[in-house]
Amino acid sequence: MSGLQKRPKLIASDLDGTVVAHYGAITDRTINAFRRAHEMGIHIYFVTGRPPRWMPEIKEAFGFGTGICGNGALLFDIQNHKVLEEWLIPIEAQKETVKRLRNAIPPISFAIETHDNFHREVAYIPRWDVGVDNKGVTKIEEAMTEPMMKMLARCSDYEFTSDEMLEIATKEVGDLVNVTHSNPKESLLEISAHGVSKGATLAKIAERLGLTADDCVSFGDNPNDFSMLSWTSRSWAMADGHPDARKYAKSVALPHQEDGVAIVIEELLELPA
């Protein structure tokens, strides 16, 4: 029997827009589907752009699973709030990235993320970390004093879309860092160390577990998920996600509002081991 006709040994899922609604809720059906998979011995990985400081609600909702945070930059023990391993952006790469992108996208502003905090330029207007860094710095280079989990780049006036920014940034700094985004409406880029992505880190972890792409399934909705959707032999793009997601996934799941991921997991668990 082909591995693709068997129950998966690892489930990797994005969070926001995939199993977590945009207003922050996770349905009982979704939690129960993941719980049943966990009880059957399947490895559960929540693969997200989120930093560790945004993971306590995931611990509370599920009570199991391991995090791959920062779009692949961190392997994270959700239950004990502990970083297990990390792949960070070197200081010089941070500074050179900022220099090039300022020239290519003049209205751009920056923030940088550590495990539990972030620093921003005054011009960078946050939407999710309001109050975490109230003061800000004039130029983000002032805060670049150590290797960093993730950089954020925003056009606060929405002069460019996230997709437009991504196309420009990939050409300008693709040799230095990995650039992606998780929201086409936000005019926001997410930047990781060169070679670091959700798919690359998931492949690394799976290999350590003795698993192949055929043993793993994945779910996602936006460009930061594309590498993961491409790598696993079975993958599902969310029907209400980024239109390009279907090019990278092998299948399409119903929107998260309709428990799309839970429905697929329930079907996968009926397959023979």
The overall longest dimension of the chain from CA atoms, in Å, is 60
Whether residues 227 and 208 fall in one domain: yes
Residue 249 is encoded by which pair of tokens? 């996934």
**Domain contains 122:** yes
At 129, is the pLDDT very low, low, confident or very high (cuts 50, 70, 90)? Answer: low
**Domain contains 273:** no
DSSP string of 57-121?
HHHHHHS--EEEEGGGTEEEETTTTEEEEE-PBPHHHHHHHHHHHHHHSTT-EEEEE-SS-EEEB
Distance CA 203, CA 201 (A): 5
pLDDT at 131 > cutoff 70: no
Whether residues 147 and 64 fall in one domain: no
pLDDT at 3 > cutoff 70: no
Distance CA 159, CA 150 (A): 23
Q: What is the pLDDT of residues 51-66, one digit of tens each?
A: 999 999 999 999 999 9
Q: How many domains does the chain have?
A: 2
**Least confident stretch, 82-86, 158-162, 174-178, 229-233:** 158-162
Q: What is the pLDDT of residues 147-195, one digit of tens each?
A: 999 999 999 887 899 999 999 999 999 999 999 999 988 899 999 999 9
Question: Chain-wide mean pLDDT for the chain?
Answer: 94
pLDDT at 230 > cutoff 70: yes
Q: Residue 143 sits in which domain range?
A: 91-193
Higher pLDDT pick, 116 / 145:
145
Whether residues 71 and 98 fall in one domain: no
Whether residues 66 and 99 fall in one domain: no
Whether residues 140 and 56 fall in one domain: no
**Domain contains 32:** yes
